[in-house]
Amino acid sequence: MVVIREAKTRKDFKKFVKFPTELYKDNPYYVPPFELDELNLTNPKKNASFEDTDAIYFLAERDGKVVGRIAGLICHLYNKKNNAKRARFSRFDFIDDAEVADSLLKAAEDWARSKGMVDIHGPLGFNDLEREGLLVEGFETIGTYQGSWNAAYYKDHIERNGYVPDAKWVEWRFKSEDKKVDERVQRVAKIVETRYGFHEAKIKSAREVIKKYGRDFFKLLDECFEPLYGTIPFTDKLVDQTIGLFKLIIDTDYVSIILDKNGELAAFGLGYASLARAIQKAKGRYLPFGWIHILHAIKHPKYLELGLVAVKPKYQKMGLTALIINNMMQRIVNNGIIYCDTGCQLETNTAVLSAFDMIDRELIRRKTCYLKKL
């Protein structure tokens, strides 16, 4: 018999956070999140998103052992923006068992109904920089630090419970094994610079990036993300919290800040060392020795993740994404990076995907967000 109970104590939250790492302990593709970061996300005192989000966490237990988990979220800024009454499910992990999956989804759905919601979608996190989507293709590729990985059986259990696809993402891999940047990208980048006067800002340190452009990045992200699926405006507290995290991973070699002819921020791209393998070695923990693996991955990267690309809407048809990619790929090739994985790109986001058409790339993962009427 499966027992569903709400996580309320610190001990409960530790079980909640650790469950997927234990579930996938022998899996070579799963990348655990940092346990401390996940614990902080459950704490209203440390997670700025609680300013406008209601959350609940459920554990599924059988014979006293945790066999699954799910979180329910109601993001009021999202509902206000979209005139909706929609909940989210998040951090949904479970053994391959119908009773466990059904019971967890029912718990999240019942909670959402009790709060007056009329539908629920997911998996999604608190905000647009969190892990999103259910992996439905690409199970035999290692996950990313910024993304999620789940077993193939999740899809069947979710769809069996009446959920239907509502948004789809793709993730790409750019390889630099040819030791050169694609000529098409270089050509478009040159045209963008000479014809329109766009140019890359010269930056010397991560501190300079944060101090000079940090808040402008988030203003631009809000502007760019506004029409995209599931997005939520960034509050001042969330910006402060996120900037604090960025300080740890920014490498100026993999940041491209594009200014217009007036010196105003027009676009930016942010890549960073992939911490996936380091986190696997650390088993999701900084201590006692996890920080050694993390620091080595940051200082001596072999793999990268392309975290964000944002172009001011009025410039989105002028080739700025090609300029960003050209700048970053030049340094990726020069530094001997093996490959770079992108984050989730909506299949409907043609502005970004069309720019990627100029680069030799491999589709490595597909993800889906599901929706159910309550």
């997005």: which residue's tokens? 231
Q: What is the CATH number of the domain that holds 189?
A: 3.40.630.30
What is the pairing mode between strands 303-311 and 339-342?
A: parallel
Q: What percent of the chain has pLDDT over 90?
A: 54
Q: Do residues 235 and 358 both lie within one domain?
A: yes
**pTM of the predicted model over 0.85:** yes
Instruction: Label residues 245-265 b or e (16+ Cβ within 10 Å = b).
Output: ebeebbbbbbbbbbbbeeeeb
pLDDT at 67: 98
- What pLDDT is stored for residue 136 in this prediction? 97
Sorting pLDDT into bands at 50, 70 and 90, what band is 117? very high
User: What does pLDDT average to over the chain?
Assistant: 90
Nearest to 339 by CA among 185, 115, 178: 178
Query: Residue 300 class from Cβ within 10 Å (0-12 exposed, 13-18 middle, 19+ buried)?
Result: exposed
233 part of a folded domain: yes
User: 372 lies in a domain?
Assistant: no
Concatenate the DSSP letters of all residues of 215-265 into one string: HHHHHHHHHHHTTSTT--PPPHHHHHHHHHHHHHH--GGGEEEEE-TTS-E
Q: For residue 371, tell me if it sits in a domain.
A: no
Share of the chain above pLDDT 70, in %: 98
With bands split at pLDDT 50, 70 and 90, how would you rate the model's confidence at 374? very high
Asked if the peptide bond before residue 288 counts as cis, ω within 30 degrees of 0, the response is yes
Q: In angstroms, how far apart are the furthest CA atoms of the chain?
A: 68
User: What pLDDT is attached to residue 104?
Assistant: 98
Q: Which residues contact 22 (CB under 8 A, 6 or more apart)?
A: none
Distance CA(114)–CA(242), nearest Å, equals 31
Question: Quick one: 136 and 185 in the same domain?
Answer: no
- Nearest CA to 50 out of 131, 127, 146, 147 is that of 127
Q: Give the confidence band of 198 by pLDDT, cuts at 50, 70, 90.
A: very high
How far is Cα 33 from Cα 71, in angstroms, rounded to an integer?
16
- For the chain, the domain total comes to 2
Q: How far apart are alpha carbons 168 and 181 in whole angstroms?
A: 29
Per-residue pLDDT, averaged over 153-159, amounts to 98
Last-in-domain residue among 137, 169, 201? 169
pLDDT for 61:
98
Quick check: is 180 in a domain?
A: yes
Q: For residue 30, what are the domain limits?
A: 3-169
Do residues 136 and 216 both lie within one domain? no
Whether 373 maps to a domain, the answer reads no
